[in-house]
A and B are shown apart, each in its own frame.
Chain A
Amino acid sequence: MATQNTISRKSDMSGQEYQWGFVTDIETDLAPRGLSEDIVRLISSKKGEPEWMLEWRLKAYRHWVKLNDAESEPEWANVKYPKIDYQDIYYYAAPKSVTEAPKSLDDVDPEMLATFEKLGIPLQERAKLAGIAVDAVFDSVSVATTFEKQLGELGIIFCSFSEAVKNHPDLVKKYLGSVVPYTDNFFASLNAAVFSDGSFAYIPPGVRCPIELMTYFRINTADTGQFERTLIIADEGAYVSYLEGCTAPFRKTHQLHAAVVELVALDDSEIKYSTIQNWFPGTPEGEGGVFNFVTKRGRADKNAKISWTQVETGSAITWKYPSVILKGDNSVGEFFSVALTNNYQQADTGTKMIHIGKNTKSTIVAKGISAGHGNNTYRGQVQIMPGAENAVNHTQCDSLLIGDKCGAHTVPYIEVRNPTARLEHEASTSKVSDEQLFYLRARGLSEEEAHHMIITGWSREVFQELPFEFALEANQLLKVSLEGAVG
Chain B
Amino acid sequence: MLEIKNLRVSVLDIDDSEILKGIDLTVKTGEVHAIMGPNGSGKSTLANVLMGRTEYVITEGDILYDGESIIDLLPEKRAHLGMFLAFQYPAEIPGVRPWQFLKAALDAKADSRGEEKMSIRDFSKLFDEKVEAVGINPQLVKRSLNEGFSGGEKKRNEMLQLEVLQPELAILDETDSGLDVDALRIVAHGVNSMRSPERSFIIVTHYQRLLNYIKPDVVHILVEGKIVKTGGPELALDVEKDGYKQYTSVGASA
Contacts and interface: CB of A to CB of B under 8 A. Distances in A.
B91 A441 contact: no
B79 A457 contact: no
Chain A contact residues (Cβ within 8 angstroms of B): what range?
Answer: 20 to 34
A442 B95 contact: no
A293 to B, nearest CB: 31
Given A434-B55, A447-B74, A441 B79 contact: yes
A440 B93 contact: yes
Residue of A442, A446, A450, A460 most packed against chain B (CB within 10 A): A442
Interface residues of B, number: 35
Contact of B79 (A434, A443, A447, A454): A443
B222 interface: no
A325 B9 CA distance: 61
Contacts of A447: 74, 76
Contact of A457 (B75, B89, B95): B95
Contacts of B74: 441, 446-447
B95 A440 contact: no
A434 B55 CA distance: 9
Contacts of B55: 434
Interface stretch (B22-30, B105-113, B114-122, B186-194): B105-113
Interface string A450-487: 10011011111100000000000000000000000000
B93 A439 contact: yes
Contact of B80 (A436, A444, A449, A458): A444
A456 B95 contact: yes
Given A439-B87, A443-B161, A453 B96 contact: yes
A114 B54 CA distance: 33
A483 B59 CA distance: 33
A450 B76 CA distance: 10
Interface in A202-243: none
Given A443-B101, A453-B96, A433 B165 contact: no
B243 interface: no
Interface in A425-444: 433-436, 438-444
B95 A449 contact: no
A77 interface: no
Contacts of B96: 453-454, 456-457, 460
Given A434-B55, A438-B53, A438-B75, A444 B109 contact: yes
Given A438-B91, A443-B105, 18 more contacts: A435-B89, A436-B92, A438-B54, A439-B87, A439-B91, A440-B105, A441-B52, A441-B76, A441-B79, A442-B75, A442-B85, A444-B76, A446-B108, A450-B76, A453-B93, A453-B104, A456-B95, A456-B96
